[in-house]
Amino acid sequence: MKEKTILLIDDEADFVEMIKFQLESEGYIVVTASDGEEGLLKLKQIKPDLIVLDINMPNMGGLEFYNKIFTPHGRTKYPVLVVTARLNLEEIFKEIEVEGFLSKPFEINHLMSEIKRITLGGINPVVFLAAPKNSTHVKKIMEIFVNERYDVIVCGNIQELSAHVKRHGLHF
């Protein structure tokens, strides 16, 4: 399995140190940032498998950072797990479809479970394309979907699509 990279954005140094230690002991690569501005700079250097994001930070808070990582089509470029002491924000983040939300304080085991759930996959929506597999147009369409964090399955024809759905089902 490929090592997973986590971008941890939080201004509480002790919290960051503790979480970083735990994640690294579990085999994750951890890059840290103390606010949203630094987080955006780190995103120019890495492509994380997950962003663990605090909300209340100096310079640029988590909400502003979150709004800056959207694709032109309205999805975030990376999965985001929000960790904050502001419990009242949970419903807002459910509505904007973050991959997870934890209210501080929390058990470290709960955080690790959420991180594993998100980084082990199965969170991206699946798109089926019934089209010739080697088509240049299909490749371009696939690239757009993949950049929007969709998993794409190309089926050469309707029969192949039907067989795939029968084998694996549809999950909405």
- Amino acid sitting at position 78: Y
Contact between 96 and 74 under an 8 Å Cβ cutoff? The reply is no
Q: Tell me the per-residue pLDDT of 57-74, one tens digit each, with 9 for 90 and over.
A: 999 999 899 999 988 777
Same domain for 150 and 133:
yes
Is 18 a residue whose pLDDT tops 90?
yes
Domain that holds residue 155: 126-168
Q: How far apart are CA 79 and CA 62, in angstroms?
A: 14
The C-alpha angle with vertex 41 and arms to 35 and 43, in degrees rounded to 5, equals 100
pLDDT of residue 144: 76
Same domain for 25 and 85:
yes
Q: How far apart are CA 78 and CA 147, in angstroms?
A: 10
Q: What is the CATH number of the domain that holds 50?
A: 3.40.50.2300
Q: Tell me the per-residue pLDDT of 32-61, one tens digit each, with 9 for 90 and over.
A: 999 999 999 999 999 999 999 999 999 999
